[in-house]
Amino acid sequence: MTAAVVVPETPVLIAQDVTFRIARFLPDVDSEVHWEDFVVPMYPTDRVLDALSKIKGDLDGTLSFRRSCGHGICGSDAMRINGRNRLACKTLVKDLDSSKPITVEAIKGLPLEKDLIVDMEPFFAAYRQVLPFLIPDGHEPSRERLQSAEDRAIFDDGTKCILCACCTTSCPVYWTDGQYFGPAAIVAAHRFIFDSRDSGAEQRLEILNDREGVWRCRTTFNCTDACPRGIEITKAIQEVKRALIFRRV
Partner 1 sequence: MQTHSFDVIIVGAGGAGMRAALESGNRARTAVLTKLYPTRSHTGAAQGGMCAALANVEEDNWEWHTFDTIKGGDYLVDQDAAEVMCKEAIDAVLDLEKMGLPFNRTPEGRIDQRRFGGHTRNHGEAAVRRACYAADRTGHMILQTLYQNCIKAGIEFYNEFYVLDVVLSEVDGQPVASGVVAYELATGEIHVFKAKSVVFASGGFGKVFKTTSNAHTLTGDGMGIIWRKGLPLEDMEFYQFHPTGLAGLGVLLTEGARGEGGILRNATGERFMERVAPTIKDLAPRDMVARAMVQEVREGRGAGPNMDYVYLDLTHLPKEQIEEKLPDITEFARTYLGVDPVTELVPVFPTAHYAMGGIPTNVEAEVLRDNDHTIPGLYAAGECACVSVHGANRLGTNSLLDINVFGRRAGINAAEYANSVSHVELPDDPAAYTIELVEMLRSSTGGERVSTIRREMQETMDMNAQVYRTEATLKQALADIQGLQRRYRNVSIQDKGTRYNTDLLEAIELGFLLDLAQVLIVSALERKESRGGHAREDYTTRDDVNFMRHTMAYRGVDDQGQEFVSLDYKPVVVTRYQPMERKY
Residues β-bridged to residue 215: none
Which residues between 172 and 191 bind partner 1 (CB under 8 A)? none
Q: By C-beta, is 32 or 144 nearer to partner 1?
A: 144
Kindly determine how many residues on this chain lie close enough to bind partner 1 according to the rule CB under 8 A.
Answer: 65
Asked if 123 contacts 41 with a C-beta cutoff of 8 angstroms, the reply is no
Q: What is the DSSP letter of 179?
A: T
Residue 4 interacting with partner 1 (CB under 8 A): yes
Question: Which of the residues 11 through 50 are near partner 1 (CB under 8 A)?
Answer: 26-29, 45
The only residue of 16, 68, 176, 220 in contact with partner 1, by rule CB under 8 A: 68
Stated length of the chain: 249
Q: How far apart are CA 204 and CA 218, in angstroms?
A: 20
Binding residue (CB under 8 A) for partner 1 from 21, 23, 70, 199: 70
> Which positions ≥6 away from 228 have C-beta within 8 Å?
72, 78, 86, 87, 90, 162, 164, 166
Q: How far is CA 8 from the centre of its chain?
A: 31
Q: Under a CB-based contact definition with an 8 Å cutoff, are residues 187 and 238 in contact?
A: no
Phi first, then psi, for residue 37 (nearest 5°) are -100, 140
Query: Whose Cβ is closer to partner 1: residue 8's or residue 83's?
Result: 8
Between residues 162 and 217, which has the closer beta carbon with respect to partner 1? 162
Q: Which is nearer to partner 1, 28 or 247 (CB)?
A: 28
Nearest CB to partner 1, comparing residues 23 and 177: 23
Site for partner 1 in 91-150 (CB under 8 A): 92, 113-114, 117, 120, 124, 128, 132-134, 136, 140, 143-149
In this structure, what DSSP letter does residue 11 have?
Answer: P
The DSSP secondary-structure symbol of 157 reads G
84 touches partner 1 by CB under 8 A = no
Please answer whether residues 62 and 26 qualify as being in contact, where contact means their C-beta atoms are separated by less than 8 angstroms.
yes
The residues of the shown chain that bind partner 1, judged by CB under 8 A, are 1-2, 4-8, 10, 26-29, 45, 53, 56-58, 60-62, 64-76, 90, 92, 113-114, 117, 120, 124, 128, 132-134, 136, 140, 143-149, 152, 155-156, 159-163, 192, 195, 197-198
